[in-house]
């Protein structure tokens, strides 16, 4: 009897607990709103308590995006959220459909392409409702180094700092975000490239914002890049794996390695990051016709392999290697069959020593340097048509400065104006040092 009463009591308690933890009707709420502006897009993220149930529509004159969240109660003062975005003026509530939902209005500065989707929790974030606003006026701001090499174009290297904004990439044990490390290395690499006559960098992202993966290749393609280098840091569930690796990106399922890689969901989801739109867009990534693929693939792939091999040679001098040979990967998400594309995993952020190193300025600089040296060497050896590198190779004219030589002396000897030599070598002054190797234009 006593036992039975106790039993009944505990049953009642369980029922009561179940009742109290059952969601009341308007149980969801917005915990915070984050705005990630980039030059052409803005991502607005609503951090939700539970998976959002939503519908949305757009209005014009003035442009607005209206989102109805059902089973959700008001929590934040939306008008207090500051927006630096070129597309988003601000947020506010409007009259909801019913008393169990809220209506959020995004006031836009201009009509924008909108995508709204929910994201499941991935560390460090919980449930999210994501709004991607894309500028309809595609005046992409790409910083262009003034080409001072006359008729000869620069070798263009598109540099893609992995992840960004809402998508932190992998997170190290000490709390480092991959997105910050990749951006730092990317900037260092760009700086080296832009200091080099005959080369120019294009940064796919230059700040802490997310760029859609299809968009990344599009930017590379639009800037007529000769090579796309994507910078990442690896991660694994255990702290042991370490070392850098270089991946050749292709759309073709070229070998068995690739098959295995595709099964490595760990890695795959890491690269997909928080980008649900990528999954949505994977089909559209295959818009390229087989003909185009076949035409450009062989050249692209062989270039990618060769550059990767060069990079591994130099990375080996500054860091441990995870894999000694280029790895093949078919990332529908980051490939551009017409542009040689490679992905450099600069080390394992999940390995405590490497995480520490990746946070060290000097180490990142030496990683960037070794990538640069390898890429420069490759393109000097195999220069694309029409580039300064191609001309210099054809003329085979470089000059190592010896004691007593000056610019004017060399100008006379090669019958080229001093100004041309200075322009081609990016020289600010007339001073040259002994041992310096100068390119001598026609
Ligand atoms: Zn990554």
CA distance 60 to 108: 9
Structural domains of the chain ordered from first start:
28-135 (2.60.40.3500), 155-381 (3.40.630.40), 397-439 (3.10.350.10)
* β-pair partners for 180: none
- Which residue, 122, 149, 419, is CA-closest to 274? 122
Pairing outcome for strands 41-48 and 28-37? antiparallel
The mean pLDDT of 398-414, rounded to a whole number, is 90
pLDDT in tens, 279-322: 333 333 333 333 334 444 567 777 888 899 999 999 999 999 99
Determine the distance separating the centroid of ligand 1 and the alpha carbon of 425, expressed in angstroms: 35
Whether residue 176 has pLDDT greater than 80:
yes
Using a CB cutoff of 5 Å, list residues around ligand 1, an ion: 162, 169, 232
CA distance 196 to 159: 15
Percent pLDDT > 90 in the chain is 43
Is this prediction's pTM over 0.75? no
Average pLDDT, the chain: 80
pLDDT in tens, 260-272: 444 443 343 333 3
Determine the distance separating the centroid of ligand 1 and the alpha carbon of 234, expressed in angstroms: 6
Determine the distance separating the centroid of ligand 1 and the alpha carbon of 124, expressed in angstroms: 15
Residue 28 — pLDDT band, cuts 50, 70, 90?
A: very high
pLDDT in tens, 121-173: 877 788 999 898 888 875 544 444 444 445 789 999 999 999 898 888 889 99
Whether residue 41 has pLDDT greater than 60:
yes
pLDDT in tens, 111-123: 998 888 888 887 7
Determine the distance separating the centroid of ligand 1 and the alpha carbon of 233, expressed in angstroms: 5
Determine the distance separating the centroid of ligand 1 and the alpha carbon of 87, expressed in angstroms: 28
Task: Give the model's pLDDT for residue 330.
Answer: 55
CA distance 416 to 396: 15
Determine the distance separating the centroid of ligand 1 and the alpha carbon of 287, expressed in angstroms: 25
CA distance 301 to 337: 8
């Amino acid at each position: 009897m006593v036992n039975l009463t106790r039993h009944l009591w505990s049953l009642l308690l369980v029922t009561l607990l179940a009742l109290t933890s059952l969601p009341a009707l308007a149980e969801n709420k917005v915990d915070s709103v984050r705005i990630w502006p980039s030059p052409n897009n803005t991502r607005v993220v609503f951090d939700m308590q539970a998976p959002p149930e939503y519908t949305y529509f757009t209005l014009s004159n003035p442009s607005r995006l209206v989102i109805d969240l059902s089973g959700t109660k008001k929590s934040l003062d939306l008008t207090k959220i500051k927006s630096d975005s070129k597309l988003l003026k601000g947020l506010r509530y409007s009259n909801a459909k019913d008393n169990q939902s809220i209506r959020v209005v995004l006031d836009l500065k201009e009509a924008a392409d909108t995508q709204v989707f929910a994201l499941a929790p991935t560390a460090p974030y919980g449930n999210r409702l994501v709004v991607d606003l894309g500028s309809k006026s595609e005046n992409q701001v790409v910083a262009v180094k003034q080409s001072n090499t006359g008729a000869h174009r620069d070798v263009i290297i598109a540099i893609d700092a992995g992840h960004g904004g809402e998508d932190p990439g992998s997170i190290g044990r000490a709390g480092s975000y991959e997105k910050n490390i990749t951006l730092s290395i990317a900037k260092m690499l760009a700086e080296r490239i832009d200091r080099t006559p005959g080369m120019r960098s294009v940064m796919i992202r230059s700040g802490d914002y997310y760029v859609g993966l299809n968009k990344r290749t599009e930017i590379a393609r639009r800037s007529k890049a000769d090579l796309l280098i994507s910078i990442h840091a690896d991660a694994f569930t255990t702290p042991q794996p370490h070392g850098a690796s270089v991946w050749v990106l292709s759309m073709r399922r070229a070998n068995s390695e690739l098959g295995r890689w595709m099964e490595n969901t760990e890695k795959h989801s890491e690269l997909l990051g928080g980008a649900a739109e990528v999954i949505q867009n994977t089909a559209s990534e295959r818009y390229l016709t087989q003909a185009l693929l076949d035409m450009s693939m062989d050249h692209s792939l062989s270039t990618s392999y060769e550059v990767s091999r060069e990079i591994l040679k130099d990375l080996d001098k500054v860091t441990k290697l995870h894999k000694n040979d280029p790895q093949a990967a078919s990332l529908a998400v980051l490939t551009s069959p017409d542009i040689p594309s490679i992905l450099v995993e600069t080390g394992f952020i999940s390995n405590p020593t490497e995480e520490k190193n990746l946070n060290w300025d000097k180490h990142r600089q030496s990683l960037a340097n070794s990538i640069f040296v390898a890429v420069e060497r490759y393109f000097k050896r195999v220069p694309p048509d029409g580039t300064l590198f191609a001309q210099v190779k054809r003329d085979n004219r470089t000059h190592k400065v010896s004691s007593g030589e000056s610019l004017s002396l060399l100008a006379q000897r090669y019958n080229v104006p001093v100004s041309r030599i200075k322009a081609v070598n990016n020289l600010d002054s007339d001073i040259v040092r002994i041992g310096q190797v100068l390119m001598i234009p026609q």
